[in-house]
Amino acid sequence: MTKGMNLLVLAGLILAIILNSLFVIDEKEDGIVFQFGEAIKSDLPTGLNFKLPIIQNVKKYDARLQTLDEEPNRILTVESKYLIVDSFVKYRITNVRTFYDATSGSFINLNNLLGQRTAFELKNQFGRRTVTELVSGERDQLMSDMRENLGNSVSDLGIEIIDFRVKRIDLPPELSNSVYERMRSERNRLAEELRAEGNELSNEIRSTADKERVIILAEAYKTSEEIRGDGDATAAAIYAESFSKDPEFYEFTRSMKAYDATFNNKSDVLVIDPKSDFFKYLNKSKGNN
């Protein structure tokens, strides 16, 4: 009975030692093997791993994507204007041994160090730009520069920067009104310049059109007068040719036209000698009895 109990206890100890020698690293983790508190092995493969029981232990760390999202900071621009900047950083551990040496394996320590370098990079980038550039343009270039520079500065922390982005840029109340007013004034100035250019162009077009109109009317009048003159000359030539064949008839038609023009209105009164040449053809006419 005692021998059987000893064998059972021995088997239990052997099983415990074997179980203590085995550990699993899954795809979401990375680990370090310690011996008497000193890190001796890292970059463990995914799956089943072995260690010496009792004298060695394993610490596992999350290798998934992490996010650092701190409180907004007041950052000074190149114009010595303060902005309220809200940003975030996404990163992951790529070298667990370097991460452990730099932070003692603490994500709190890591986030503190990363937060300091993030703030430094924001101040560095914003300190090179004006408020207008930061608010209205160059956003893509700004994000690219920040991500690249921060990535180069954290190699000693054993992490990789996946993204570094500004979520929001706010103007302090004392600055926002002046900036917006300046932007509004600039837009109004540009609008006035465009209106002035438009009015100038409109006046030029109108002046050109008026000039062309005057030229066209003058040419038309000139042409019409030439045509009228040619017509009058032709008519005079026809009349002259016609009347030269019968001068007496020419005199008669002239008198008829004169009578018509003189006695156009019943109220017209003409005091003239009845025997004058004016009534020559009337005096010669004979009425029907």
Whether the per-residue pLDDT at 289 is higher than 60: the answer is: no
Average pLDDT over residues 5-22: 70
Whether the per-residue pLDDT at 163 is higher than 70: the answer is: yes
Confidence of residue 46 (pLDDT cuts 50, 70, 90): confident
pLDDT tens digits, residue range 74-101? 888 888 888 889 999 999 999 999 999 9
Angle at 232 between CA 230 and CA 238, to 5 degrees: 105
Length of the chain: 289
pLDDT tens digits, residue range 113-161? 999 999 999 999 888 888 777 776 667 788 888 899 999 999 899 999 9
In this structure, the dihedral spanned by the alpha carbons of residues 11, 12, 17 and 21, taken in order and rounded to 10 degrees, is 100
User: Is the overall model pTM greater than 0.85, yes or no?
Assistant: no
- Write down the pLDDT at residue 152: 92
Whether the per-residue pLDDT at 283 is higher than 70: the answer is: no
- Write down the pLDDT at residue 287: 46
Domain ranges, ordered by start, for the chain: 11-62, 66-171, 246-284
- Write down the pLDDT at residue 272: 61
pLDDT tens digits, residue range 195-254? 988 888 888 898 888 888 889 988 888 888 889 888 888 877 777 776 676 666 667 777
- CATH number for the domain running over 66-171: 3.30.479.30
Beta-carbon neighbour count of residue 131 at 10 Å?
A: 22
Tokens 């995914």 sit on residue:
46
Beta-carbon neighbour count of residue 288 at 10 Å?
A: 3
Average of per-residue pLDDT values in the chain: 81
